[in-house]
Amino acid sequence: MKPFSGNFTQQESLDESVVAAATEVLTSGRLHRYNSEPGELSKASELEQAYAAYQGARYCLACASGGYAMAIALRAAGLRQGEPVLTNGFTLAPVPGAITAAGGKPLLVEITEDMVINIEDLERKAKTSGARFLLLSNMRGHLADMEHLDEIVRKHDLILIEDCAHTMGASWNGRKSGNFGLAGCFSTQTYKHLNSGEGGLLTSDDPDFMARAIILSGSYMLYERHGAAPATEVFEQIRLETPNMSGRMDNLRAAILLPQLAGLEDSIERWNQRYRVVDDVLRGATGVVLCNRPDEERYVGSSIQFSLPGISPAAARAFVSANKAMGVELKWFGDENPVGFTSNHHSWRYVEQQSLPETDRILASLFDMRLPLTFSVGDCRHIGAIIAHCAAEHAKAPGRAL
């Protein structure tokens, strides 16, 4: 089989409208988030208005990163030092990192075969821990049964904050990811659905919460210049009680995100077209298991995950290497040693070690692959065929456990 020659980290180039928007800000010299003319909305404020409208949220704060958005969301929601925060056992390191940075203690919850939080384990741990917070990670774009989860959140009076780094534009029964709890946190890092290199967005319908988040983001006393903020009177006391911790997005990044936001729905359809092609090929592959995608879920297929149940660690590493030799870059979540962006809870040494036997079993055979829009539909069919070929070769290799 012919190897694949594409680049798994190459994103689409940003078009002329994005370049023009960046040039306008650079020419003006007004890069700081509050550096605007009298009566003029800064680009950061414009982005806040535009994303609030897209998300269907009352308020939006443009942040320096998705991780920062999560950390100040927890602070603005009233997290106390040393307090437990429930979160998925399967996520990326910025999620427990944000909890720790905000002063909390991550309390990890098991996941299911479909790579979403195990709602039964969530309820058990909500009962026994007394936790007030759930930072739900919609990891790799997979949504749990959000109506069932909402029942548990309400039953145990949990404060729900959603990590939507991989679910910008996704929805459950028509309700957008990020709109199920107090707040939604989004990322605009290069490998997410909008690309500003680094950046984040925080949305909410709660005025007091968003006023605290805005002051935390470093608004000084310029909160009236925000594009999607609560009324001025909401800030009257909050502005004097809340520390100022600079982390709002600058005008340059906001400017290059605005034209991309206008094309987000088109990008989602193109990602999903590529996802479906790889999914179709792998569903017929030897030993390969893919998760269920419920009818209620509108997903964004910017990456794909699959399992080879029962694979040994040695065979998993060999499988990754075999794909790499054919030009296909896979990540394996079962490796206890972090590799690049990929890690699991065993390597988060700043988190108290916890027993997650089901999560460990699932991650032991779980592989992950990006689907950049620089790949054509034909490229994706080729990639799927290579993975299927490597899976078949491993299945019949002597001594291999698959």
Tens of pLDDT along 251-269?
A: 999 999 999 999 999 999 9
Euclidean distance between CA atoms 217 and 136, whole angstroms: 22
pLDDT at 1: 87
CA-wise closest residue to 137 among 179, 208, 185: 185
pLDDT score for 398: 59
pLDDT at residue 397 tops 80 = no
Higher pLDDT, 336 or 240: 240
- The answer on pLDDT for 194 being more than 80 is yes
Predicted confidence band of residue 399 (pLDDT cuts 50, 70, 90): low
Q: What is the pLDDT of residues 120-135, one digit of tens each?
A: 999 999 999 999 999 9
- What pLDDT is recorded for position 39? 83
Q: Is pLDDT above 70 for 402?
A: no
Instruction: Find out whether 142 and 115 touch, Cβ atoms under 8 Å.
Output: yes
Provide the CATH number for the domain formed by 16-262 in this structure: 3.40.640.10
Share the mean pLDDT of the chain. 96
Q: What are the helix and strand counts (H, E) for the chain?
A: 13, 13
How much is the pLDDT for 237?
97
Length of the chain: 402
Contact 163, 144 (CB under 8 A): no
pLDDT at residue 69, rounded to an integer? 98
- Confidence at residue 401, expressed as pLDDT on a 0 to 100 scale: 46
Residue 338's pLDDT is 86
CATH topology of domain 264-396: Aspartate Aminotransferase, domain 1 (3.90.1150)
Identify which has the larger pLDDT, 74 or 336.
74
State yes or no: pLDDT of 299 exceeds 70.
yes
Question: What are the boundaries of each domain within the chain?
Answer: 16-262, 264-396
Residue 227 near residue 210 (C-beta atoms within 8 A): no
End-to-end CA distance of the chain, in Å?
A: 22
Q: Is 328 helix (H, G, I), strand (E, B) or coil?
A: coil
Q: Which of 26, 53, 61, 60 is nearest to 218 (CA)?
A: 61
Q: Containing H/E element for 201?
A: strand 200-204
Alpha helices in 116-171 (DSSP H): 119-129, 146-155
Examine the pLDDT at 154 and tell me if it is beyond 70: yes
Taking only the tens place, the pLDDT of each residue in 26-58 is: 999 999 999 988 888 999 999 999 999 999 999
pLDDT digits (tens, 9 = 90+) for 74-114: 999 999 999 999 999 999 999 999 999 999 999 999 999 99
In tens, the pLDDT along 161-177 reads: 999 999 999 999 999 99
Burial 124-160 (b: 16+ CB within 10 A, else e): ebbeeeebbbbbbbbbbbbbbbbeebbebbeebebbb
Average pLDDT over residues 179-201: 98
pLDDT in the model for residue 370:
97
Rounded CA gap, 190 and 336, in Å?
25
Burial of 240 (0-12, 13-18, 19+ CB in 10 A): exposed
How many other β-carbons are positioned within 10 Å of the β-carbon of residue 32?
13
CA 16 – CA 259 distance, rounded (Å): 10
268-292 mean pLDDT: 97
Q: State how far the Cα of 230 lies from the Cα of 61, in Å rounded to an integer.
A: 11
215 Cβ contact list (under 8 Å, min separation 6)? 223, 235, 238, 239, 242, 243, 244
Q: Is the pLDDT of residue 324 over 60?
A: yes
CA 19-54-213 angle, 5° bins: 90
The C-alpha atoms of residue 211 and residue 221 are separated, in whole angstroms, by 11
The confidence band for 153, taking pLDDT boundaries of 50, 70 and 90, is very high
Count Cβ atoms below 10 Å from residue 309 Cβ, excluding itself: 14
| φ, ψ for residue 261, nearest 5 deg | -60, -35
Query: Going by C-beta distance under 8 Å and a sequence separation of 6 or more, which residues neighbour residue 244?
Result: 215, 216, 218, 219, 220
What is the number of other CB atoms lying within 10 angstroms of the CB of residue 289? 14
